[in-house]
């Protein structure tokens, strides 16, 4: 997430009550988790296992809970609880803001777009031209929707990422400051849920079509002209490339890539990245012909064991 305006290291330190190392006027232009950082961003690290990754990342400001040497060209903020300090900044710059009307006055809605009764359009939402937003759709703050998009009843765009830090006292919520981006000519079925990015964007590509009851996790990117069947669930930080077909009740794990033109048949479970232009099936998923051959062999197992049992009985009788 980019800050509305750049802030100095000294200003950020004051917000989170932290000491710092670096030029007090060092500029911070964004807040991002470690997977999304770029030059000018602030991130955090709270475990020695990940110090090297954070300090060597593209982030130029790091909140850390140890007095380590500051890398050249970067700045450090010292906090006993970097996670809480980071969340404090997210709440400061993109915290929850209550709405009192169904369509926020800060929303931008294009010409020819129809908003049916009962829909909710949050703060700073952008909707393009000639869209249809059906009744009881809920569009959270900062969501962006292109032109000629259809969203059916009961769908929720931009709910928080399912992202928590486990501690002995319980789970702590990682506040989300990303958004959902829906490109042109997309159709989303009824009762779908597309979560916003933790600090980046969850993107649905141009021309993609969803059936009902589809779940998309945070920071996932769906390519162009994909088809996704009912009751499919795609976890966070996954990439579905262009022209992919995902049939009903497919579950796809996090941090995977499904290649361009792949087809995943219904009820499959995907636990690894998949090459494009192939057809897949099964739990765990594999190329369809290989999987069907495995199932054919499995069906023969009872007969095989029965034959083995008969052979053993005959041998025992001879003995």
* Catalytic residue (one of 7, 134, 152, 218): 218
| 251 vs 318: CA distance, rounded Å | 53
| 3-class secondary-structure state, position 167 | strand
The pairing of strands 170-173 and 164-167 is: antiparallel
Burial of 79: CB neighbours in 10 Å, binned 0-12, 13-18, 19+? buried
| 163 vs 197: CA distance, rounded Å | 10
| 196 vs 147: CA distance, rounded Å | 20
| 3-class secondary-structure state, position 88 | helix
- φ, ψ for residue 144, nearest 5 deg: -120, 130
| 76 vs 42: CA distance, rounded Å | 9
Asked whether the bond before 238 is cis by omega within 30 degrees of 0, the reply is: no
Burial of 307: CB neighbours in 10 Å, binned 0-12, 13-18, 19+? exposed
218 is catalytic: yes
- φ, ψ for residue 17, nearest 5 deg: 55, 55
| 3-class secondary-structure state, position 198 | coil
Task: Collect all residues with Cβ–Cβ distance below 8 Å to 253 and sequence separation of at least 6.
Answer: 235, 238, 270, 271, 272
116, 133 Cβ separation under 8 angstroms: yes
Active site residues: 218
């Amino acid at each position: 997430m980019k800050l509305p305006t750049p802030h100095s290291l000294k200003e950020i330190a004051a917000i989170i009550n932290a000491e710092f190392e670096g030029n007090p006027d060092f500029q911070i232009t964004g807040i991002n988790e470690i997977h999304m950082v770029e030059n000018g961003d602030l991130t955090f690290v709270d475990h020695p296992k990940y110090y090297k990754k954070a300090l060597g990342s593209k982030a130029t400001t790091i909140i850390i809970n140890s007095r380590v040497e500051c890398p050249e060209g970067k700045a450090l903020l010292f906090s006993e609880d970097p996670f809480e300090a980071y969340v404090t900044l997210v709440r400061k710059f993109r915290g929850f803001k209550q709405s009192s009307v169904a369509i926020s006055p800060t929303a931008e809605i294009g010409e020819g777009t129809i908003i049916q009764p009962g829909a909710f359009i949050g703060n700073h939402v952008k909707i393009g031209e000639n869209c249809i937003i059906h009744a009881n759709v809920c569009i959270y703050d900062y969501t962006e929707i292109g032109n000629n998009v259809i969203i059916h009843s009961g769908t929720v765009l931009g709910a928080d990422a399912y992202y928590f830090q486990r501690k002995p006292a319980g789970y702590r919520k990682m506040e989300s400051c990303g958004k959902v981006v829906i490109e042109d000519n997309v159709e989303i079925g009824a009762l779908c849920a597309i979560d916003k990015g933790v600090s980046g964007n969850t993107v649905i590509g141009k021309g993609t079509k969803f059936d009902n009851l589809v779940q998309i996790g945070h920071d996932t990117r769906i390519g162009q002209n994909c088809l996704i069947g009912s009751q499919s669930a795609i976890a966070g930080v996954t990439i579905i490339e262009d022209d992919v077909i995902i049939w009903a009740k497919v579950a796809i794990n996090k941090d995977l890539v499904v290649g361009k033109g792949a087809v995943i048949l219904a009820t499959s479970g995907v636990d690894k990245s998949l090459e494009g232009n192939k057809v897949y099936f099964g739990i765990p998923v594999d190329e369809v012909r290989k999987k069907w051959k495995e199932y054919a062999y499995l069906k023969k197992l009872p007969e095989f064991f029965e034959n083995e049992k008969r052979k053993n009985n005959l041998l025992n009788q001879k003995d």
